[in-house]
Amino acid sequence: MRRCSMGLGALLGLGSVLPLLGALSLGARASGLPYVPFLLFEWLTRALPGRLVTAGIDAMVALISALGVGPTSAVAKAAEMGLAVAALVAGAAVLGAVLAGVSGRRPGWLPGLGAAAGAALWILCVAAMQRVGYPPAGRAYSALWLFLLLGLWGTLLGLVVRRAGRDEQVEGSRRRFLEGFALGVVALFAATVGLGRRWGRRAPSEAVGGSGAGPGLEATSGPAASPPEDVLARRVAPATPTRPELTDPDRFYRVDINLAPPTVREAGWKLAVDGLVSTPQGFTLEELRALPATRQAITLECISNLLGGDLMSTGVVTGVPLRDLLARVGRRPAGRHVYVESADGYFETVAPADVEDPRTLLVWALDGAPLTAEHGFPLRLYVPDRYGMKQPKWITRLEVTEQARPGYWGVRGWSNEARVKTTSVIDGLGASMRIGEADVMPVGGVAYSGAKGISRVEVQVDGGAWQPAQLRRPPLSPLSWVQWRFDWPYQAGSHTFRVRAYDGSGRLQPVEVRGPRPDGASGLFELTRHV
């Protein structure tokens, strides 16, 4: 009787999933077909209770921050991707072990059982696509591709487990079979992944046209326009370790509900605007870019950002004011709210005051270049004084409504207001220097209060008196963070620095220590260093 041990079956399952992952990667890169690990992971995170998902996010962000392996958003996405792939790999190992368990009694059933397992996984994938959304390849091609690929994978795994059964008379043949299986797995995995990467690089990039944005801060406009360049040039210099005033686009934080960003093609895309309007319309990206645009420097912060965390970035965005676009379709007086839908299934509501705010933009460019897929191409929303959860990316539809509806994270227990809290951060200490008769060490960081502005920042050393810091006034814009510096009279030893900020109306930032959930973290940031 031929029988495969469960341990060997698990190893065969592990081996078989490598070519499967390679084929899935090739299909995703070359033809926009679904990548099963990411598809199932995203489905699971949408289906699980919001509190459970939030607890997982909080734990991951806290761990990344504690280990100091940031940037947080990039590391978190990589960790989520790893978990998604690991889940499929573990499932394949379990399937291999189960098939091995029945190999001694019913070896003839193994190919059919493997095919049935592949079919069950296919059903899960179809259900997931119905919830998460279909990839660019479309419903029919995606379903057919997965049916053939998963069915073939399950059948072949059953055949491999049956062939690997022990038979003392042909042990040498069995060993050669396993060696050949291992070599074949490695070769297929390498070939499919290599083809996927090469094909992905060679795939022609879709023309996205001009952004309508001029270079430099001098091209900003509207009520949040930046001060003239010569005025900005006369400000006090920042302390050396202070983060850049404008974030490099490649380091701009990214937090969303997807492992890989949705692929939205400009060809065929239109922004639907309907609801309580006189003339429902669809706007192409070219039509939106042709409208009078506003360009403004803004800071975005994630509501999950920990005190002093790096889920906060500043850039220059270009877009059309939301209220101007709604005027073109004849928004009715009763239409006070705007419900926003995105290509990834995300949704949010814009409050009446934000709808009327000329600084609320439908954005198509960041730092003078078209949005990347990661940051919401072709269109995202910017709303002043709100955390990032209120600012959807990959927008497909605007519905003007009379009543507000809770957003994606609102129904999962987060604040529906999500208004930015005043916060201040110490980025670090510079090298000591002599100014006049004193040795000083510059301390620097940023303070941010959404659209409320910053009126002053104070620093405390070793529990002493609070002392005023210098603000780099004026800031880049009324909507951006403010850099500050404090020239501390240098003393060798270990010291603890704390910082606090006041918003534009003179109100002190919240000092009670609270975590991000449900409406953003608060507390006073402190830093201890031996100098």
Position with higher pLDDT, 202 vs 109:
109
Q: Tens digit of pLDDT for each residue in 11-30?
A: 999 988 888 998 998 899 88
Asked if 21 and 37 count as a contact pair (C-beta separation under 8 A), the reply is yes
Q: Which two tokens stand for residue 24?
A: 């899935």
Residue of 207 and 334 predicted with greater confidence: 334
Tens digits of per-residue pLDDT, 81-129? 999 999 999 999 999 999 998 887 778 899 999 999 999 999 999 999 9
Q: How many residues does the chain have?
A: 531
Closest Cα partner for 505 from 466, 452, 468? 452
Residue in the block written with tokens 């059964």: 165
Q: What is the pLDDT of residue 212?
A: 36
pLDDT value, residue 194: 62
* pLDDT tens figures, 281-319: 999 999 999 999 999 999 999 999 999 999 999 999 999
Note the pLDDT of residue 168: 45
> In Å, what is the CA distance from 136 to each residue of 133, 139, 268?
10, 9, 12
Alpha helices in 253-308 (DSSP H): 285-289
User: Pick from 318, 313, 316, 317: which is nearest to 244 by CA?
Assistant: 313
pLDDT in tens, 374-396: 999 999 999 999 999 999 999 99
